[in-house]
Structure 1
Amino acid sequence: MANSLISCEVDFETDGKQAGFLRVPHSVHRSAYGWIPVPIVSIRNGDGPVVLMMSGNHGDEYEGQIALSRLARDFLPEDLRGQVIFLTMANQPAAEAGLRCSPIDDGNLNRSFPGDPAGTPTQMIAHYIEDVLLPRCDYLIDLHSGGGSLFYPATLLRGQGWTDQEGQTLRGLQDAFDFPHAWVFQGGGGPNSTARTAMGAANRKRVVPIMAELGGAGSVTPSILAMTERGLQRSLHSLGMLPDYVPDAERGTRELYAAGSVFAYDSGLFEPLKDISAPVEQDETVGHIHDPSTPLRGSVAVKSPYAGIVMAKRPMAQVKRGDAVFQIGIDVQKK
């Protein structure tokens, strides 16, 4: 199958609910003919749209893993029209370890596409997703969070669409998810994308991709988890796949472009002066870095090179030079 060495225990052509594993070959000392078990679930009810829902692309991002596991348990085939394929721990070794990257090969799955069918485990998983799963699909929903090093409010990420029709579809999915924020990419996309991300892979296969950033800080936020589950069901309903679901009223979404990140240029303990969604002026001091090993030395001011609002915030106090401490966004209508 597309030269992949990975085998799948699920038959995608069969109606009903199936659960099994992608078997990623991995020969090691303790298991000469072993394989890495990547969980996969297929729920299918006849013809209709096919959606790949993925979480655990980065292993330290948890809301998506919980939300997709719950939906995979709760959904019945008769609830659906079409098919939903769930990858709850896409980079299984990373998710099992609670790490952004795989402890086996240090692979960052969301920087590994299009992958390699005979490469490292992470490269093999990326290749299978891009060349085996995505060609079966119409839509990709890739759920992320800030992981251990950042925190985001519930934020949908989308491109502007390769065609007018795709743009309308993406805006419709944004409205259906109805998250407080949407991060709109200003360029790239389309079948000629060279991005090494899952969204880039979807674009290359002409699959409509959306992504989400859902909390972070190595924890689970109940309100964001609830918004995630609500958004997933509303999005499937908008695609005609959950005909009996009754969505509640829209709450509204603030659209943002990403202006850029604010970085630490010193090591020490970071004291933030801004919170999520707080306004920021260009050259404003948004935090201080302290060095407790030299207590009489003054703190170093961290200034934002951008005006806008805080899209994401570093929750960890310890920083080193080069760490991102904030991500700044600009309201779309102000651009």
Structure 2
Amino acid sequence: MRSQVWTTIDFDAIGVQSDFARVPYSSNTSAYGWIPVPMICFNGGDGPTALLTAGTHGDEYEGQIALRRIARTLSQSEVKGRVIILPALNQPAVVAGRRNSPLDAGNLNRQFPGTPQGGPTGMIAHYIATELFPIVDISIDLHSGGSSLDYLHVALAHRGRTDAQEQKIHDLLNIFGAGHSIRTDGSGGGGATTLYAAAVEHGLAAITTELGGGPGLSAAGTDLAEHGVRRVLKHYGIAPGLDAPEAALTKMVDSIPPSRSLYAPCHGLFEPLAKVGDRVKAGQPACLVHRLDDPLAEPIELTFMADGIVKYRRFPTLTAPGDALYGQVYELDQ
């Protein structure tokens, strides 16, 4: 079944068009309404097409701001090929400032390839997978740690299905130029249900990012998102006139399995002892968890289970059993 999401944008027309991906949603106050997901298309004729998305999780702001900067710049620049930008992909979650949609509790980055019927989150995923993936060559989905995590600046990519696709993905990671890059199989969460994993299944060169986090905004993460996208658009000749700072050499790292990450053992107050980016050793104290149910009890000390670099750290202090507190990566031989 074809997507029920629609737009007035003609992706083949030359020029700049701005409208919405209109997601049908029948609510108590609007029986035949639709959800407006902002979308811009820049088409300069022959050349590759880049799909740029952010706001897949509504509380991750670095990519949302970076893509708005890019859109304003492209409106004054020469474009060869095509750029499709959706800076607030899960618009209901963006408006609510939440990771997941308040309409159907959907986590958009766990619903690909989506469904043409049902809740709006699955319908957004289905539209991207069936209507946009077939007309694009490059996909960049910008994420950060959101309100619950502070995150190392990394780009991530699944392995290509062919040698040619694998080389394109490898090149895309280097051109984007995050401080660290991870090749992943999705075993840490999401698997093939993330946007970038689904894009690879469609044969695209696709990456995603994690660029800082917390309830506010990481200026460095926002700048990296913008500069990385600028480098990609310039390199592929889509926007050859863009200014783009030269990328530092990205360091290839791999994630230490989730089974060796640290999780809250009880309801408590999380006191971190290591920062994102720190090099740590197995057995090194990572944090203290102060129990809520016994103020006289000694805090529970958790120690790192492996040598490595701190990939993420929980941001909120209040924590509950099972909350992820720390994750790590380790460097690969270059």
TM-score range, shorter-chain basis?
over 0.9
CA distance in 1, matches of 2:242, 2:57: 30
One-letter amino acid matched to 1:133: L
CA distance in 1, matches of 2:237, 2:330: 33
Offset at residue 159 of structure 1 (A):
2.6
One-letter amino acid matched to 2:264: A
1:234 aligns with 2:231: yes
Match of 2:11 in 1: 12
* 1:240 partner SS: coil
Match of 1:249 in 2: 246
Offset at residue 246 of structure 1 (A):
5.0
Moved more, 239-248 or 92-101: 239-248
Contact 1:89–1:95 (CA<8 Å) still a contact in 2? yes
1:216 to 200, 203, 213: 213
Are the structure 2 counterparts of residues 52 and 97 from structure 1 closer, same or farther at C-alpha, using a change threshold of 3 Å?
same
Contact 1:115–1:126 (CA<8 Å) still a contact in 2? yes
Offset at residue 250 of structure 1 (A):
3.3
Alpha-carbon RMSD across the aligned residues, in angstroms, is 1.9
Match of 1:320 in 2: 320
One-letter amino acid matched to 1:104: L
Moved more, 158-167 or 295-304: 158-167
* 1:51 partner SS: strand
Match of 1:142 in 2: 141
Contact 2:165–2:203 (CA<8 Å) still a contact in 1? no
- In the TM superposition, 1:79-118 aligns within 5 A as 79-118=78-117
Contact 2:290–2:300 (CA<8 Å) still a contact in 1? yes
Render the CA deviation track for 1:177-223: whole Å, top value 9, x for unaligned: 222121222578xxxx9711101221221111100111111211112
Per the normalisation by structure 1, the TM-score is: 0.93
* 1:84 partner SS: strand
Offset at residue 307 of structure 1 (A):
1.9
CA distance in 1, matches of 2:203, 2:236: 17
Are the structure 2 counterparts of residues 34 and 186 from structure 1 closer, same or farther at C-alpha, using a change threshold of 3 Å?
closer
* 2:198 partner SS: helix
1:29 aligns with 2:22: no
- Structure 1 stretches lacking a partner, 5+ long: none
Are the structure 2 counterparts of residues 249 and 127 from structure 1 closer, same or farther at C-alpha, using a change threshold of 3 Å?
closer
- In the TM superposition, 1:199-214 aligns within 5 A as 199-214=196-211
Match of 1:297 in 2: 297
CA distance in 1, matches of 2:91, 2:10: 20
Are the structure 2 counterparts of residues 77 and 85 from structure 1 closer, same or farther at C-alpha, using a change threshold of 3 Å?
farther
Match of 1:54 in 2: 53
- Structure 2 stretches lacking a partner, 5+ long: none
Contact 2:160–2:200 (CA<8 Å) still a contact in 1? no
> How many percent identity over aligned positions?
39
CA distance in 2, matches of 1:206, 1:321: 39
Per the normalisation by structure 2, the TM-score is: 0.93
- Segments ≥4 residues shifted beyond 3 Å: 245-250
Offset at residue 282 of structure 1 (A):
2.1
